[in-house]
Amino acid sequence: MDERRNSTWKERAHILANLCVVGLFLFPLAWMLLGAFKSQGDLLSPTPVWFFIPTLEHWHFIFDNWNVERHMVNSVIVSVATTLLTLALALPAAYGLARFPIAGKDMITFEILSLKMIPPIAAVVPLFVLTQKVGLYNTLMVLILLNTAFQLPFAILVLKSFVEEIPPEIDEAAYVDGCRPIGVLWRIILPLSVPGLICCAVFVFIFSWNEFMIANTLVGGDLRPLPPIVGLALTHRGILWGPALALGVVVLLPVLILTFTLSRYMARGMTFGAVKG
């Protein structure tokens, strides 16, 4: 009995400690959110201001002066198109790698993984030169194509791990019924890998929404998505803190909502399917 009471006390202590840690991790996000509604004076006060009358001045400022709607539309177009294109290319590839006796399959898988390990900046410098040569420089298309290229290795590996869990007997039954491989992909693999597709879609959408380096380098002016605009707010004649924070919140909010609502699908994606979550 004593042992048992002891363990519930211990458990309560763990719950309390963990709640504190979660609070600590969330505080920076909450502080930014509050900051976006503080007046300039409250925001720059040397002693933190906890209670204040919320103001929308920074929000009016960014929508009036920084053309935020336009950049938001760019971000949505790029992220949605990237997600669709990535899934369309990744699922057949994952199916091919998971189900067919391709020679050097493990080698190919390893090569795909190593593409993901390359720091993006290594590819961005030559792309800066090459996209200007082929006329893709400063188009939304280049962002879609490159984000897809950067996310594709991840998507193939994750989807491959999901496809491998579908029992091959189902495929075989379909073959016996006269299905061809393309039919198996469409009628069996596709519907059965929906959780994997959701997992990939969330990650790919968020990563391409968050992407800063390519967007900051390869497009300019009205075509920029949101993240480079945040960068702009920081260096443009010192920092306009209020508007910068409001903009930071605009970028962040969709990501936080998606992550929070779909987190149960995402655990597997963390390690490219290497660890089953």
Partner 1 sequence: MSIRQPRSISARQGLWFFLPAGAFLTVMLVYPLAYSLYASFTNMRMTSPITRFVWLDTYAAVLASDQFRSSILVTVVFLVAAITLEFVIGFALALSFKAMRHTHPIMRALLMLPLMATPVSVGLIWKLLLNSDFGIVTYAGQQLGLGTQLWLADPVMSVVSIVIMDVWQWTPFIFLILLAGLEGLPEDVYEAAALDGSRGWDLLINVTLPLMARIIVVALAFRVMFSIATFDTVFVLTKGGPARATDLITLLIQREGLVNLNVALASAMSFIVLLMVTAFSVVTFRKVMANG
- Binding to partner 1 in span 94-153, by CB under 8 A: 95-97, 99-103, 106, 108-110, 112-115, 117-130, 145-146, 148-150, 152-153
Q: Which of 67, 181, 190, 198 binds partner 1 (CB under 8 A)?
A: 181
Residue 90 or 223 with smaller CB distance to partner 1: 90
- Cα angle vertex 134, ends 131, 136, to 5°? 55
Residue 16 or 194 with smaller CB distance to partner 1: 16
Q: What is the dihedral of CA 40, 44, 46, 52, to 10 degrees?
A: 40
Residue 65 or 259 with smaller CB distance to partner 1: 259
What tokens does 50 get?
């906890």
Closest CA to 224 of 70, 64, 84: 70
Site for partner 1 in 203-242 (CB under 8 A): 206, 209-210, 212-213, 217, 227, 230-231, 234, 239, 241
Q: Which of 22, 141, 170, 194 binds partner 1 (CB under 8 A)?
A: 22
Which one of the spans 21-29, 59-67, 76-84, 190-198 is the region binding partner 1 (CB under 8 A)? 21-29
Residues 114, 117, 120, 126, CA torsion sign = negative
Site for partner 1 in 59-88 (CB under 8 A): none
Site size toward partner 1, by CB under 8 A: 104
Q: Which of 62, 68, 78, 90 binds partner 1 (CB under 8 A)?
A: 90
Residue 43 or 219 with smaller CB distance to partner 1: 43
Other beta carbons less than 10 A from residue 70's beta carbon: 15
Helix or strand holding residue 196 (H, E): helix 194-210
Which one of the spans 51-59, 66-74, 76-84, 246-254 is the region binding partner 1 (CB under 8 A)? 246-254
Which one of the spans 39-47, 52-60, 61-69, 192-200 is the region binding partner 1 (CB under 8 A)? 39-47
Establish if 158 lies at the interface with partner 1 (CB under 8 A).
no
CA 41 to chain centre: 35
Query: What does the DSSP 8-state code read for residue 49?
Result: P
Convert 219-250 into a string of H (helix), E (strand) and C (coil).
Answer: CCHHHCCHHHHHHHHHHCCCCCHHHHHHHHHH
CB 171 within 8 A of CB 184: yes
Would you call 141 helix, strand, or coil by DSSP? helix
**Least distance CB 78 / partner 1 (angstroms):** 14
Site for partner 1 in 40-59 (CB under 8 A): 43-48
* The amino acid at 237: R
**Least distance CB 69 / partner 1 (angstroms):** 18
